Chain A
Amino acid sequence: MTELLRPQAIGQDLARRDGPDKVTGTATYANETPVENPAYCHLIQADIARGRVSAVDTAEAEDVPGVIAVLTPGTSERLSSTEDKELAVLQTTDVAFRGQIVGIVIAETPEAARQAARLAAVTCSEQTHDVSLSADRVDLYKPDKVNPSFATDTSVGDVSAAMDSAAATVTETYTTAMNHNNPMEPHATTALWNDGQLTLWDSTQGVHSVRSTVAKVFGLDKGQVRVVCPYVGGGFGSKGTVHAHVVAAAMAARALPGRAMKLALTRQQMFSLVGYRTPTIQRVRLAADRDGRLSAIALDVVEQTSRIKEFAEQTAVAARMMYAAPNRATSHRLAALDVPVPSWMRAPGECPGMFGPEVAMDELAERLGIDPIEFRVRNEPARDPESGNPFSSRHLVACLRDGAERFGWADRDPRPGVRRDGDWLVGSGVASSVYPASRQAQSDATIRFADGRYAAEIGAADLGTGAWTTLAQIAADALDVPLDLVDVRIGDTDYPFASVAGGSSGTSTWGSAIVAAARAFREKYGLDPADGDEAQGQVPEYQAQERYALYAFGAQFAEVRVHADTGEIRVPRLVGVFAAGRIINPRTARSQFIGGMTMGMSMALHENSVLDPATGHVVNHDFAEYHIATCADAANIEAYWVDESDPHVNPMGSKGVGEIGIVGTAAAIANAAYHATGVRVRDLPVTLDKLLPGLD
């Protein structure tokens, strides 16, 4: 057990410290770094999905006034490491997916760079490509592990036998669509190569991981690379790992020493170059006795990866621990296709993986004639079914009960398709949420004292999560000083190593490092430090994970209205209740929850990257056609939490809150759409064309 901080600043409802800079637009993002006399880069992309670049004729592009250089596979520098093929920019003439970088234009103005990129004549020899995912492909393979290091398959007991002898079963296939992260700030890097030093102002979820990756790719010492990123315009996983454009910007900078290079992706380019969530095909089997006790849970997942780099989304892992069932089986199979490289998108694994099973739970509850909340409560496990360890804290039932009361579930008529309000069919649905309470193995912090003020330094990132504010709260309590005496310095590799902001592990990891540094500081200098005093600390080993199952839980409730004639779907109300440890800052935490729920609603109703099998191209590659939730869709979303303080996760008693809000939302909405209409949609997004054939 960890010694918990006495919460004083922690728990206070505070405005974020970066608020004034953000509402005036003066917060500086990567592409806005004030640099002298920048040059501008624009990428040239392959327009085939598989084949080889046979020639790039740059003559016309180079004639555009203002063009400085055009880098191609034939003229670019040779990288030191091409182990990561996604980052091997211009190192080969092979084309592995449509949109791959095949050239970089450098020019005096963005207009000239863009014009020249269009004029560069790229000749390709095209090979037959294959971008079609299906569960009956003969070339599906079993990856060695799934993201980041989970077992690919699991099996306990005998699911088939349990299915054969059960009172009620569900065997159905559910699918989730290809989704793109689409943070509002397009990925951008400003790069400067000067006297053997590379400086990158990059929009990233982790400056230190950019530094180590880029240093390796270019064969530099880490000390030769500095990465700076005070503000990130959203990431949702797509800025959690280095993508090819960062290498392209650095390559351009190294081609013109002393000249700062600005590279910003276009919205369209983001659909091929910065990762996405794989589509998933989920075969779910559930079995239960007449009293609603599950005897079997199985989830077999098929999803895609790229040919040049494997990413195996851990879609089935939540099914391993969510409910008590003696017979359990999960598997992941991949198709390696001629597609862009998939990667992290908010709650990889849990987000898609809590769609199929949570809709299946709704289907089985109906078959058994049991309320879907009661059905979940009856299958609450005493220990983690997967590891056998006790849960460090598990308040799923409290979330379900509290949410039911707030939402007004008690009077719900379970019959589908029987409520009508004017032209609208009305229904409600519920689903559970879960997300691991993780901590990363390495992060260091420094506490400094000068002029009566303390500073906590750590190379962490604030993607809108509130880290600028919450880390100050943690430091204040760890030092036992008023919050207004504490400054936070993040977003720069000049500060100590911090893990990437991902897996909802940031605050837990960095906060633990800050607490360790603060305790070391007090031990060294007592309560009366002198100017210049400083102490370091690092995140301790996460020993609790050997003995406990560590997760946050939640319950989501949706009201759905479907227009009886047109099939138009609206979600007038979403209620989420979460058990996520002690809440550091209610204001910013609530924003994380409602933000996740809003993105979950968006996934449920809108988001669908349409990959054209003929061209390998995401045809709806902009906001006009890749729809995300707008203000009119999502203005009424409520998030609450139950009191919880978990002494096993970290000294703050907190768990991560960045991702759990998106887990379960789509299932709650799909379940509510069924309750409204009697039409069960098992394929996301739930769009009117899928409902209309079933409406009278």
Chain B
Amino acid sequence: MPEITVRANGHARRVAVDTRSTLLDVLREQLGDTSPKKGCDHGQCGACTVLLSGRRVLSCLTLAVSCDDAEVTTAAGVSHAVQQAFVDHDAFQCGYCTPGQICSAVGMLDEFADGWPSHVTPDLTAAPELTDDEMAERMSGNLCRCGAYANIVPALRQAAGGPG
């Protein structure tokens, strides 16, 4: 089996991986970081979201062998205002989608800061405004069956420095 180096949350680890293994399974089963969750294994729910070199990716659709030397950040390695905002606004219940929501939120806020538009951005040539609609749209790849969306948006608002 090929060996790769995974730099997860700042720690470099050398690990032999099955070429079929996803980054999600290697993190959970071989590196002992179970903060990214397996909700569907098909890239349809967002529970496995991690930051790969700072960008949000679905770790269940990312082959581990493609991540040699990559910087991976999971929710366990995130330290960001969005986490306290989620606690303050009770933006979760069962907590299973939450680590993915956290990583996705961090990635989303960075994408927004970089000027990326979304499906609901009214003017593609102007700098987008971080409205509730923008945040809800950009977070819609992260499913929450407990139905915390109405709390997630105010939490994101607080984390982005707006009124919580």
Chain A residues in the interface with B (C-beta under 8 A): 15-16, 18-29, 31-32, 34, 109-111, 182-186, 231-234, 236, 264, 266-267, 463-466, 587-588, 590-592, 594-599, 602, 622-624, 628-638
The answer to whether B98 and A594 touch across the interface, beta carbons within 8 angstroms, is: no
Using CB atoms, name the residue of chain A closest to B152.
Answer: A631
B21: which A residues are within 8 A, CB to CB?
111
The answer to whether B95 and A266 touch across the interface, beta carbons within 8 angstroms, is: no
Known: A464-B95, A623-B45, A628-B143. A25 touches B152 (CB 8 A): no
B29 at the interface (CB under 8 A from A): yes
Known: A24-B83, A185-B37, A635-B136. A591 touches B96 (CB 8 A): no
Complex CA–CA separation, A631 to B45 (angstroms): 12
B135: which A residues are within 8 A, CB to CB?
631
Complex CA–CA separation, A266 to B40 (angstroms): 7
The answer to whether B93 and A632 touch across the interface, beta carbons within 8 angstroms, is: no
**Chain B 1-19 near chain A by CB (<8 Å), digits 1 or 0:** 0000000000000000010
Complex CA–CA separation, A631 to B144 (angstroms): 8
B140 at the interface (CB under 8 A from A): yes
> From residue 131 to 164 of chain B, which have CB atoms closer than 8 A to chain A?
132-133, 135-137, 139-153
Would you list the 5 A-B pairs with minimal beta carbon distance, nearest first? Answer: A25-B35, A598-B147, A233-B96, A464-B93, A464-B94
The answer to whether A234 and B136 touch across the interface, beta carbons within 8 angstroms, is: no
Using CB atoms, name the residue of chain A closest to B32.
Answer: A34
The answer to whether B150 and A624 touch across the interface, beta carbons within 8 angstroms, is: no
Complex CA–CA separation, A23 to B86 (angstroms): 7
Complex CA–CA separation, A255 to B44 (angstroms): 35
B99 at the interface (CB under 8 A from A): yes
> From residue 1 to 58 of chain B, which have CB atoms closer than 8 A to chain A?
18, 20-21, 25, 28-29, 32, 34-42, 44-45, 47
The answer to whether B38 and A264 touch across the interface, beta carbons within 8 angstroms, is: yes
Partner of B94, one of A19, A186, A233, A631: A233
Known: A19-B86, A596-B147. A184 touches B96 (CB 8 A): yes
B93: which A residues are within 8 A, CB to CB?
234, 463-466, 588, 591-592, 595
Known: A587-B90, A595-B93. A624 touches B42 (CB 8 A): yes
B97 at the interface (CB under 8 A from A): yes
Using CB atoms, name the residue of chain B closest to A203.
Answer: B96
The answer to whether A24 and B99 touch across the interface, beta carbons within 8 angstroms, is: yes
Using CB atoms, name the residue of chain A closest to B28.
Answer: A32
**Chain B 55-76 near chain A by CB (<8 Å), digits 1 or 0:** 0000000000000000000111
Using CB atoms, name the residue of chain B closest to A599.
Answer: B147
Using CB atoms, name the residue of chain A closest to B44.
Answer: A623
B40: which A residues are within 8 A, CB to CB?
267, 622-623
A15: which B residues are within 8 A, CB to CB?
87-88, 90
The answer to whether B145 and A20 touch across the interface, beta carbons within 8 angstroms, is: no
B47: which A residues are within 8 A, CB to CB?
184
B38: which A residues are within 8 A, CB to CB?
31, 186, 264
The answer to whether B147 and A22 touch across the interface, beta carbons within 8 angstroms, is: no
The answer to whether A24 and B75 touch across the interface, beta carbons within 8 angstroms, is: yes
The answer to whether B98 and A25 touch across the interface, beta carbons within 8 angstroms, is: yes
Complex CA–CA separation, A590 to B90 (angstroms): 9
A26: which B residues are within 8 A, CB to CB?
35, 76
The answer to whether A233 and B140 touch across the interface, beta carbons within 8 angstroms, is: no
Known: A16-B90, A22-B98, A24-B83. A629 touches B147 (CB 8 A): yes
B150: which A residues are within 8 A, CB to CB?
594, 598, 634-638
Using CB atoms, name the residue of chain A closest to B19.
Answer: A111
Partner of A24, one of B42, B78, B133, B153: B78
Known: A28-B34, A183-B96, A635-B149. A19 touches B87 (CB 8 A): yes
Q: How far is the CB of A6 from chain B (nearest CB, A)?
A: 25
Known: A15-B87, A24-B83, A183-B96. A631 touches B75 (CB 8 A): no
The answer to whether A632 and B37 touch across the interface, beta carbons within 8 angstroms, is: no
Q: How far is the CB of A231 from chain B (nearest CB, A)?
A: 7
A185: which B residues are within 8 A, CB to CB?
37, 39, 94, 96
Q: How far is the CB of A545 from chain B (nearest CB, A)?
A: 29
The answer to whether B149 and A629 touch across the interface, beta carbons within 8 angstroms, is: yes
The answer to whether A591 and B90 touch across the interface, beta carbons within 8 angstroms, is: yes
The answer to whether B149 and A22 touch across the interface, beta carbons within 8 angstroms, is: no
Q: How far is the CB of A217 from chain B (nearest CB, A)?
A: 27
Complex CA–CA separation, A602 to B144 (angstroms): 12
A232: which B residues are within 8 A, CB to CB?
94
The answer to whether A234 and B90 touch across the interface, beta carbons within 8 angstroms, is: no
Most chain B CB neighbours (cut-off 10 Å) among A233, A267, A624, A628: A233
Most chain B CB neighbours (cut-off 10 Å) among A29, A183, A595, A597: A595
A628: which B residues are within 8 A, CB to CB?
143, 145
The answer to whether A624 and B92 touch across the interface, beta carbons within 8 angstroms, is: no
Q: How far is the CB of A536 from chain B (nearest CB, A)?
A: 30
B34: which A residues are within 8 A, CB to CB?
25, 28-29, 31-32
The answer to whether B18 and A109 touch across the interface, beta carbons within 8 angstroms, is: yes
The answer to whether A631 and B140 touch across the interface, beta carbons within 8 angstroms, is: yes
Known: A631-B136, A635-B149. A622 touches B44 (CB 8 A): yes
Using CB atoms, name the residue of chain B closest to A232.
Answer: B94
A597: which B residues are within 8 A, CB to CB?
147
Complex CA–CA separation, A572 to B109 (angstroms): 24
A111: which B residues are within 8 A, CB to CB?
18, 20-21, 25
The answer to whether A183 and B95 touch across the interface, beta carbons within 8 angstroms, is: no
Complex CA–CA separation, A184 to B25 (angstroms): 17
Q: How far is the CB of A230 from chain B (nearest CB, A)?
A: 11
The answer to whether A236 and B145 touch across the interface, beta carbons within 8 angstroms, is: yes
Q: A111-B18, A465-B93, A623-B45 are in contact. List 6 more A-B contacts (CB 8 A).
A: A25-B37, A29-B37, A185-B39, A233-B94, A233-B96, A234-B94
Question: 15 A-B residue contacts at CB 8 Å?
Answer: A23-B87, A23-B98, A25-B36, A25-B37, A109-B18, A233-B96, A267-B41, A267-B44, A464-B95, A590-B90, A591-B146, A598-B147, A634-B147, A635-B152, A637-B149
Partner of B90, one of A25, A236, A588, A638: A588
Complex CA–CA separation, A434 to B125 (angstroms): 50
Complex CA–CA separation, A35 to B149 (angstroms): 34
Known: A110-B29, A598-B147. A632 touches B140 (CB 8 A): yes
B37: which A residues are within 8 A, CB to CB?
25, 29, 184-185, 233
The answer to whether A234 and B149 touch across the interface, beta carbons within 8 angstroms, is: no
Known: A598-B149, A635-B153. A464 touches B42 (CB 8 A): no
B148: which A residues are within 8 A, CB to CB?
591, 594-595
B28: which A residues are within 8 A, CB to CB?
32
The answer to whether B83 and A23 touch across the interface, beta carbons within 8 angstroms, is: yes
Q: How far is the CB of A461 from chain B (nearest CB, A)?
A: 11
Complex CA–CA separation, A590 to B139 (angstroms): 21
Complex CA–CA separation, A525 to B65 (angstroms): 62
The answer to whether A632 and B96 touch across the interface, beta carbons within 8 angstroms, is: no
Complex CA–CA separation, A636 to B28 (angstroms): 35
The answer to whether B39 and A184 touch across the interface, beta carbons within 8 angstroms, is: yes
Q: How far is the CB of B133 from chain A (nearest CB, A)?
A: 8
Complex CA–CA separation, A21 to B32 (angstroms): 16
Most chain B CB neighbours (cut-off 10 Å) among A233, A631, A635, A638: A631
The answer to whether B136 and A632 touch across the interface, beta carbons within 8 angstroms, is: yes
The answer to whether B140 and A630 touch across the interface, beta carbons within 8 angstroms, is: yes
Complex CA–CA separation, A184 to B74 (angstroms): 18
A34: which B residues are within 8 A, CB to CB?
32
Complex CA–CA separation, A634 to B142 (angstroms): 13
Complex CA–CA separation, A19 to B142 (angstroms): 19
Q: How far is the CB of A200 from chain B (nearest CB, A)?
A: 18
B99: which A residues are within 8 A, CB to CB?
22-25
Q: How far is the CB of A297 from chain B (nearest CB, A)?
A: 30
Q: How far is the CB of B141 from chain A (nearest CB, A)?
A: 8
Most chain B CB neighbours (cut-off 10 Å) among A184, A232, A628: A184
Complex CA–CA separation, A588 to B146 (angstroms): 12
